[in-house]
Amino acid sequence: MRIKVVSPSQERAQQMAAIVRDSGPGLDVLSAASPMSELPEAVNGSRPGLLILDGVDAPGLDAIGEFAHSRPNVDMIIISAEQSPAFLMKAMQVGVREVLPSLIEKGSLQAAVQRVARKRQPVEAPAAQGEVLAFMSCKGGSGATFLAANLAHVLSMRDGRSVALIDLDLQFGDALLMLSDRAAASDVAEVARNVSRLDAALLRAAMVPVSDTLSVLPGPKDLTQALEVQAEQVDAIIKQARQMFDFVVVDIGRAINAVSLRALDAAEYIFPVLQQSVPNVRDARRVRDLFQSLGYPSQRVRWLVNRHQKSSDVTLDSIGQALGSQNLTTVPNHFNGVSASVNQGVPIDQLSRGNPVSRALLGLADQVAPTGKARKDGWLHTIFRNT
């Protein structure tokens, strides 16, 4: 950025130019001695992005206003002994960005220059945002928490992708127990209470690191705290997590309320989990109707049939017909393997990669994050190829 310092005093202009040069890299700083009435001549084709004008009085503001009208893209900082409210108001009206007192403090001048430099930087493309994957139970005991936690673990083992698991089953969340026996220092409710100062450091400190690439934000330890969590706080937590992780897996339990709806709204893909029983299918239809009323596209909804058995009276075809969708993914029934994983608090793919449930989760992860491919492209390609 080119900067020109103009002052009635040549010595003072040079002194301030030296201070400005130390404000940051990439600054081209010029100086000139001139009264404000001759400002156009002082600029003289140098085409600065920022003018620093010293020794400005009330009559000088009129000249500055005329110049600013013809050069609207030039930012201006003025230095003046006059600091009355009327003077400051008029300065802002003619387009001056900041007014500094005549007794220059090096730090104040440099900070003002840095603020202008930041303002004039090209707008960068938004940072990549992690994908939100929401799991919910169509009926209690469907195994949604187990699938959410274990898919989060499988994803975290792929190509160094970072994964957050957020437990939004606020009353009875136990997602952390599926992956680790480590005690939690904090939880969702605690972070929500401190949402006004939420940043990456606070969220990271509240999470339990299961591995270098997988962190868990547990549900509230105290049931009474669950009632205090607000939808806007959940928005902020998910937004912060998306800035930090490639994937944000959210277990919302079974409750449909303002909090869980915010998580569903944020999700790129929703995984309702059901089992092969008439009550499960009936509740799944209710969930489907809710999603339709909320305007969620069918491509976002990936139905997971957990504990699948080919011999069940309730077949996949009948489930598909009831839901009006053939977009069903199955996870086989393997009681012993799942029980061992849950009771030991160890991800099932760590206990046995050959377990049929492990293989199903690996297959689901292939859809979400194909290895060796760009995360977004691979997942979307798979979705639209299969729909």
Contact call for residues 248 and 236 (beta carbons, < 8 A): no
Tokens of residue 91, six digits: 């300065």
Cβ-count burial 125-158 (b if 16+ within 10 Å, e if not)? eeeebbbbbbbbbbbeebbbbbbbbbbbbbbbbb
Quickly count helices (H) and strands (E) in the chain. Answer: 17, 13
Q: Where are the domains of the chain?
A: 2-120, 131-385
CATH fold of 2-120:
Rossmann fold (3.40.50)
The CA distance from 166 to 162, in Å, is: 13
Strand, helix or coil at 354? coil
Query: Where do the H-state alpha helices sit in 3-133?
Result: 10-21, 39-43, 58-70, 85-93, 106-120
Strand, helix or coil at 29? strand
Side chain identity, residue 306: N
pTM tops 0.85, yes or no: no
Size (the chain), residues: 387
Note the pLDDT of residue 380.
39
**How far is Cα of residue 9 from the mean position of the Cα atoms in its chain?**
50
Note the pLDDT of residue 178.
96
Note the pLDDT of residue 379.
38
Note the pLDDT of residue 123.
53
Bridge partner residues of 137 (DSSP): 273
Per-residue model confidence as pLDDT tens for the chain (387 residues): 899 999 999 999 999 999 999 988 889 999 999 999 898 888 887 789 899 999 999 888 888 988 888 888 888 899 999 988 888 888 878 878 788 998 878 888 998 888 888 777 765 545 668 999 999 999 989 999 999 999 999 999 988 889 999 999 998 889 999 999 998 889 999 999 999 999 999 999 999 999 999 999 999 988 888 888 998 999 999 999 999 999 999 999 988 888 898 899 999 999 999 999 999 999 999 999 989 888 889 889 999 999 999 999 999 999 999 999 877 999 999 999 999 999 999 999 998 888 999 999 999 999 888 765 444 443 333 333 333
Q: Which residue has the tokens 């109707």?
A: 289
Task: Report the 10 Å Cβ neighbour count for 76.
Answer: 24
Options 3.40.50.2300, 3.40.50.300, 1.10.150.120, 3.40.50.720; CATH for 131-385 is 3.40.50.300
DSSP 8-state code for residue 37: G
- The most distant pair of C-alpha atoms in the chain lies apart, rounded to whole Å, by 94
Note the pLDDT of residue 293.
81
Tokens of residue 300, six digits: 């976002």
